[in-house]
């Protein structure tokens, strides 16, 4: 988000009003500079702060005009005001952007980090709130709302995709309302450099393909080619003269406003291109490249070819020129959704310079490698297949299917249950079909399978619950926000039992008014585990020197676990619901 151009950026802070605590907040503060901290300190003296308060500062060195710092509450399991407060924050930020007469605002997946809001809940809330704001208020200036997601957060990326894909009405309404909503994924924003042959290289920068080739620019068939000319637009040597000779329709009388901007545009004449943009020689290469790219987008051209600007008579360092040109291209691609320009080609006349440009491309790839994991980015495009035995969802978000006692699926679940509960009577077994939960669960499973190769990462475990929680679990999965409702002896997470008899205790599967009890046989990603203890809110680190590398779950007994506790909502899927009685 620090490299993303937008009018307003939304930043999450806690009730302690400390900037620089979370990774996003810390990155914003470092990029913006100390002035942002000073202004924030002044602003927080002006008003009392609590959950839902939003502070307003300038963007300073960020590529935005304004930062809105929102005090986000901790997730309360849906039992309190947290969800309403988050909705009010989103609404306030939208209204504030409109009040400031600004055009665009960028939200992170607000609340899904340290504030522990469920990702699927936040995705739905953000889409719904933005849609209702647009429908009910008819904004006059606000035109773009960006949801910017961390590229390695596959879970968030998946649930935001599914929020749109699972709702045809949502997609239609967003198209109708004339309110430009963009969902950005920065994974692989800058892709790898691919070499097709000596001197021919290519890389993706957002929606743009950058190509580097050796050759004669006058032979290029792009919509536009770029020519460097003297201030009087007269030149007597080099490629510029070749272009003027070949382009017989070159016209020197051009509008004054074009000359003031530092370039003129002519027809392609006998060249293969449609237009030629003639740049007045300048030492500010980055600015010149930016001007050309903006003009191409404005005129709806799809491709442009540049020479190695400044490496001829200007005798600028090829390495410096390469860096300036690539910086301009990257910043242009990040400014907004580039709708027209798709191919930018740099044509090197002197082949020995090719290596300088190639090294600059490789350097950009490496600088942005931490923002992109290609294996994980593929997950944003490919949804996990739904189980073959699932019935047609019939446009429903969740479908609960009653299994026939004669089916193999029913009998497999029954067998697992009766291993330790032979004296209980099963009334029915239902399959829970929730595509959104299934997809996010499969994403997490893929992550663990990659991290813990050769490890038993998935288990079938039991979870007893009260009848009042069934609908909530079927729709939203197992919510760790309810930890401690029955017991929290080895951590404040979601508890699962190895044996059905454990979950069949009335403490966990409380009988309803008809003496029916309820238990899930769930798929659970237990991964690598360690002993738990009271008070844990996340699995412990494996090594104190690397707190990011954590266990995936905790247990009551490492040598012979009876109970597993997970701390991530997407690590379990409620596959089968068993209704039974004593």
pLDDT in tens, 413-432: 999 999 999 999 999 999 99
Q: What is the pLDDT of residue 4?
A: 62
Q: What is the pLDDT of residue 148?
A: 80
Q: What is the pLDDT of residue 481?
A: 55
Report the distance separating Cα 358 and Cα 194, nearest Å: 10
Give the CA distances from residue 276 to residues 38, 220, 226, 346, 423, in Å, rounded to whole numbers and listed in that order: 48, 11, 6, 15, 85
Give the CA distances from residue 5 to residues 18, 92, 146, 390, in Å, rounded to whole numbers and listed in that order: 25, 21, 11, 44
Cβ burial of 419 (10 Å; 0-12, 13-18, 19+) is exposed
pLDDT in tens, the chain (582 residues): 555 668 899 999 999 999 888 778 888 888 888 999 999 999 999 988 899 999 999 999 887 899 999 999 999 988 899 999 999 999 999 999 999 999 888 899 999 988 999 998 998 899 889 888 877 777 788 877 888 876 556 677 778 777 766 655 454 444 433 343 444 443 346 777 888 778 889 988 877 889 999 998 988 999 999 998 765 544 444 444 444 444 434 434 444 444 556 788 888 888 889 999 988 777 889 999 999 999 998 888 999 999 999 887 767 889 999 999 998 998 888 765 567 888 999 999 888 888 889 988 888 776 665 444 433 333 333 445 788 899 988 778 799 999 999 999 999 999 999 999 999 999 999 999 998 788 778 878 888 888 898 899 999 999 999 999 999 899 888 876 555 444 578 988 899 999 999 999 999 999 999 999 999 999 999 999 999 998 887 889 888 776 667 899 999 999 999 999 998 878 999 999 999 998
Report the distance separating Cα 485 and Cα 491, nearest Å: 12
End-to-end alpha-carbon separation of the chain, Å?
56
Cβ burial of 358 (10 Å; 0-12, 13-18, 19+) is middle
Q: What is the pLDDT of residue 154?
A: 63
Q: Shortest CA distance to 288 belongs to which of 273, 276, 297, 277?
A: 277
Locate 90 and state its tokens: 């989103």
442-497: per-residue pLDDT in tens? 878 888 888 898 899 999 999 999 999 999 899 888 876 555 444 578 988 899 99
Q: What angle do CA 265, 271, 277 make, to 5 degrees?
A: 20
Q: Shortest CA distance to 62 belongs to which of 139, 2, 107, 14?
A: 2
Q: What is the pLDDT of residue 189?
A: 62
Give the CA distances from residue 533 to residues 43, 487, 558, 579, in Å, rounded to whole numbers and listed in that order: 41, 12, 12, 31
Domain spanning 8-185, CATH class:
alpha beta
Q: What is the pLDDT of residue 211?
A: 93
**Could you state, in order of their start, the residue ranges of all structural domains in the chain?**
8-185, 194-371, 399-581
Task: Say if 194-371 and 399-581 have the same CATH topology.
Answer: no
Q: What is the pLDDT of residue 316?
A: 83
Q: What is the pLDDT of residue 283?
A: 81
Q: With respect to CATH, is domain 194-371 assigned 3.40.220.10?
A: yes
DSSP β-bridge partners for residue 348:
214
Third-level CATH fold of 399-581: Phosphoenolpyruvate Carboxykinase; domain 3 (3.90.228)
Q: What is the pLDDT of residue 244?
A: 43
Range list of β-strands (E), 337-470:
343-348, 399-402, 425-433, 458-465
């Amino acid at each position: 988000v620090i490299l993303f151009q937008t009018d307003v950026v939304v930043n999450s802070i806690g009730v302690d009003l400390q900037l620089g605590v979370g990774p996003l907040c810390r990155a914003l503060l470092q990029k913006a500079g100390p002035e942002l901290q000073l202004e924030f300190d002044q602003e927080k003296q002006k008003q009392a702060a609590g959950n839902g308060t939003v502070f307003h500062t300038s963007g300073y060195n960020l590529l935005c005009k304004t930062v809105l710092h929102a005090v986000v509450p901790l997730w309360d399991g849906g039992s309190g005001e947290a969800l309403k407060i988050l909705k009010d924050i989103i609404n306030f930020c939208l209204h504030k952007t409109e009040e400031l007469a600004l055009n665009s605002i960028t939200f992170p997946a607000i609340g899904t980090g340290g504030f522990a809001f469920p990702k699927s809940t936040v995705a739905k809330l953000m889409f719904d709130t933005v849609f209702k704001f647009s429908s009910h208020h008819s904004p006059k200036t606000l035109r773009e709302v960006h949801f910017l997601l961390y590229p390695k957060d596959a879970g968030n990326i998946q649930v935001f995709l599914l929020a749109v894909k699972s709702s045809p009405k949502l997609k239609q309404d967003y198209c109708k309302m004339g309110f430009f909503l963009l969902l950005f994924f920065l994974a692989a924003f800058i892709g790898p450099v691919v070499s097709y042959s000596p001197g021919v290289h290519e890389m993706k920068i957002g929606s743009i393909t950058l190509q580097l080739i050796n050759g004669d620019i006058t032979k290029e068939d792009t919509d536009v080619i770029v020519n460097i000319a003297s201030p009087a637009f007269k030149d007597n040597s080099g490629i510029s003269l070749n272009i003027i000779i070949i382009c017989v329709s070159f016209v020197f009388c051009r509008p004054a406003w074009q000359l003031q901007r530092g370039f003129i545009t002519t027809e392609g004449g006998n060249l293969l291109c449609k237009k030629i943009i003639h740049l007045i020689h300048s030492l500010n290469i980055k600015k010149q490249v930016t001007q050309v790219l903006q003009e191409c987008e404005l005129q709806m051209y799809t491709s442009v070819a540049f020479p190695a600007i400044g490496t001829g008579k200007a005798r600028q360092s090829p390495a410096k020129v390469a860096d300036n040109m690539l910086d301009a291209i990257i910043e242009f691609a990040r400014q907004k959704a580039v709708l027209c320009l798709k191919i930018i080609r740099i044509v090197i006349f002197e082949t020995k310079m090719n290596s300088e440009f190639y090294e600059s491309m490789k350097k950009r790839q490496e600088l942005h490698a931490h923002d992109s994991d290609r294996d994980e980015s593929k997950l944003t495009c490919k949804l996990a297949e739904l189980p073959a035995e699932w019935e047609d969802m019939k446009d429903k978000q969740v479908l609960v299917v009653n299994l026939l006692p004669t089916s193999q699926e029913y009998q497999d679940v029954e067998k697992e249950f009766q291993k330790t509960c032979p004296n209980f009577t099963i009334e029915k077994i239902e399959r829970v079909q929730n595509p959104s939960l299934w997809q996010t669960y499969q994403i997490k499973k893929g992550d663990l399978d990659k991290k813990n190769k050769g490890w038993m990462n998935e288990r079938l475990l039991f979870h007893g619950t009260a009848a009042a929680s069934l609908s909530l679990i079927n729709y939203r999965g197992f919510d760790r926000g309810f930890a401690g409702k029955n017991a929290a002896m080895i951590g404040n997470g979601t508890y699962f039992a190895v044996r059905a008899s454990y979950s069949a205790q009335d403490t966990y599967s409380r009988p309803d008014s008809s003496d029916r009890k309820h238990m899930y046989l769930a798929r659970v990603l237990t991964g690598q585990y360690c002993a738990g203890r009271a008070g844990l809110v996340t699995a412990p680190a494996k090594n104190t020197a690397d707190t990011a590398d954590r266990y995936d779950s905790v247990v009551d007994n490492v040598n012979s676990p009876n109970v597993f506790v997970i701390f991530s909502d997407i690590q379990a899927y409620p596959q089968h619901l068993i209704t039974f009685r004593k």
